[in-house]
Amino acid sequence: MLYAIIGEDVPNSLERRLAVRAGHLARLHRLQEEGRLLLAGPFPAIDSADPGPAGFSGSLIVAEFASLDEAQAWAAADPYATDGVFGQVTVQPFRKTLP
């Protein structure tokens, strides 16, 4: 089943985000290679594709996992969660309708 993982950044997270980004992306690439990643990306903190020093307010990942517990465990082990980029992470089932 698909699950939406929504991470909300702590204030002033950009420096931490950049420091652990490679590990975060490596995990996403593994999901992609396994054919389990539907989409992933950050929420710019301002109305701009490149928010510069304003940074990001969080991230969204939609991926396939065997269960909610597995999705929650994956999210909890992500560098953005373990290294203090995310202050809160929500994981919930997701049903793709379109396209």
Q: Whole-structure pTM over 0.75, yes or no? A: yes
Which DSSP symbol is given to 72? H
Residue type, 39: L
- Provide the strand spans (E) within 1-99: 2-9, 37-44, 56-64, 86-94
Domain definitions of the chain by residue range: 2-47+54-94
pLDDT digits 0-9 by tens, 25-67: 999 999 999 999 999 999 999 999 999 999 999 999 999 999 9
pLDDT digits 0-9 by tens, 12-23: 999 999 999 999
Which DSSP symbol is given to 54? G
Distance of CA 79 to the CA centre of its chain: 10
* Architecture of domain 2-47+54-94 in this structure: 2-Layer Sandwich (3.30)
